[in-house]
Amino acid sequence: MNKHKGEHPRMGAIDVVPFIPVYNVTMEECVKLAHEFAKEFSEKTGVPCFMYEEAATRPDRKNLADVRRGEFEGLKEAIGKDPDKVPDYGPNKIHPTAGATAVGARFFLVAFNVNLGTSDIEIAKKIAKAVRYSSGGYRYVKAMGFEIKERGIVQVSMNLTNYQKTPIFRVFETIKNEAERYGVPVIGSEIIGLIPLEALVMVADHYLRLENFSIDQVLEKRLLEVE
């Protein structure tokens, strides 16, 4: 971690360990698992653990961005000195090479990025500011603007922390409208990692203007239920 550099905020080699109630498990069970994992992980590795989201032990640690603020370098200086930086589990000092780890229980997060046909990073940053909750945008959106230098474009990179309450299509349309204000086209979008079927069905329902459609009409969902 002393040599690591990158675009995304981070405070540890194993930066975040989320427990997510995907299927046949409750959020309460995920919270319990998160605490059990953090305790055992910190005892075995000496890596301090901070609990976040539904597993948070204090209100100011519910938001992952607040837990990670200052990143590895800032936490390295503050831990052991600042009482607000005492970990929930593990030693009250940074691991010299692995840093610290955030462990939590949360709703399914969708990592969704929108690519813009410009190399002007300021436009991406302005649009990210318009959609993210911390600066007045959508409640369940975290967003940043990044350059993709090898392609000569910029990107609005987002975490959608509750796709049911802030659906993908709503965020996409807002970004498209904001980009048009700057005379910039949306040239593509991408999903990073896994995504719930329901989230994609909501997008299809919106753009196709389906009438009386239900996710139960999706063949694969019915087959999974039979199994």
Catalytic sites, residue numbers: 8
**Alpha-carbon distance 200 to 47, whole Å?**
37
Whole-number Å distance between alpha carbons of 135 and 116: 21
Q: In the block, which residue shows the tokens 């369940």?
A: 140
The number of beta carbons lying within 10 Å of the beta carbon of residue 134 is 12
Q: Which amino acid is at 118?
A: T
Helix (H, G, I), strand (E, B) or coil at 158: strand
Phi, then psi, of 153 in degrees rounded to 5: -130, 175
